[in-house]
Amino acid sequence: MTKPTEEILLNDRKEIDARTIACHVREIIKIIGEDPNREGLRKTPERFEKALKYLTSGYHLNLDHVLNGATFSVSYDEMVIVKDIEFFSLCEHHLLPFFGKAHVAYLPDKRVLGLSKIARVVNMFARRLQIQERLTSQIAKSIEEKITPQGVGVIIEARHLCMQMRGVEKQHGQAVTSAMLGAFRHNKQTRDEFLALVRRKSS
C-alpha cells in the first residue's frame, strides 16, 4: 500500500531537516579545530540532531494533546500538590542544560487534573529553549487556563550549567523561581501552606 502524498512529503522534510542540522554540526566541529571524520566524532552530528529534537520536542505538543481530556468534575476544594517533579531543559541563551525540580499546586474549583498530567505539562514546557522564569509562569498559567482553579502555585528549583561550567563557575548555585496566581497570591495562609508542604521532607 502506497503512503499518502502528504506523509511522504512530511518524511522527506524531516530527512532534509536532519541532514541540515547534522551538516551544520559537522562544520562547527571543524571550526573548533576538531576532525569530524575521526572515529569518535564520525556519527556525532547525527547523534546531536536526534538529541536536540528530543530535547525540544515540546514545540510539537499543545495542552489539549498533553492533557488528553484528563480533567474531571469533583467536589474537592483542598490543595492538590505534586512536588519534586524532575525536569531537564535547555537555556535559550547558551543552549546548555538546566535541570532541577518543579513543585506544582492548585486549589480546585469544581474540576481537577489527572495527577500524571501535571508532570506532563512540566515536561512539555521544559522541552523547549527556555529561561527558568518563563517556564515557571507557563506551567502556572496553563493550569489556570484549563481548569480555572481558585489558585495555582509553582516553584522551580534548578541548577544551570551555563553558570556552573562557564561565566562565574559557581558549582553550588541554585536558582529558585515562583509563580503564584489567584488564592496563592492573595491569601497568605494558602501560600504559606504550599511553602510548608514543599519544604517538608518525605519520610
Q: What is the largest CA-CA distance in the chain?
A: 63
Torsion, Cα of 75, 79, 83, 88 (10° steps): 70
- Whether residue 91 lies in the annotated active site: yes
- Whether residue 160 lies in the annotated active site: yes
Q: What percent of the chain has pLDDT over 90?
A: 75
The pLDDT of residue 164 is 83
Q: What residues have CB less than 8 Å from 39, skipping those under 6 apart?
A: none
20-50 residue pLDDT tens:
899 999 999 999 999 999 999 999 999 999 9
DSSP state for residue 60 in the 8-state scheme: G
The pLDDT of residue 75 is 84
Per the residue annotation, which of 92, 133, 145, 186 is the catalytic one?
Answer: 92
Q: What residues have CB less than 8 Å from 133, skipping those under 6 apart?
A: 177
Short-list 121, 126, 125, CA closest to 71: 121
d(CA 97, CA 91): 6
Q: Which domains does the chain show, CATH number per domain?
A: 5-55 (1.10.286.10), 69-199 (3.30.1130.10)
Q: Is pLDDT larger for residue 65 or for residue 1? A: 65
Short-list 76, 63, 197, 158, CA closest to 118: 63
5-27 residue pLDDT tens:
555 555 655 665 666 899 999 99
Average pLDDT, the chain: 89
Per the residue annotation, which of 132, 138, 150, 164 is the catalytic one?
Answer: 132
- Whether residue 23 lies in the annotated active site: no
d(CA 155, CA 139): 10
Within the chain, strands assigned E span: 71-73, 80-91, 97-107, 111-113, 129-130, 151-160, 175-182
- Whether residue 60 lies in the annotated active site: no
Locus of grid cell 558549582? 171
143-152 residue pLDDT tens:
999 999 999 9
Per the residue annotation, which of 24, 60, 65, 93 is the catalytic one?
Answer: 93
181-195 residue pLDDT tens:
999 999 999 999 999
Look up the pTM and report it. 0.86
Mean pLDDT of 104-133: 96
Per the residue annotation, which of 103, 160, 164, 193 is the catalytic one?
Answer: 160
d(CA 56, CA 113): 25
Phi and psi at 145, nearest 5°, equal -65, -40
- Strand 175-182 to strand 151-160: parallel, antiparallel, or no bridges (unpaired)? antiparallel
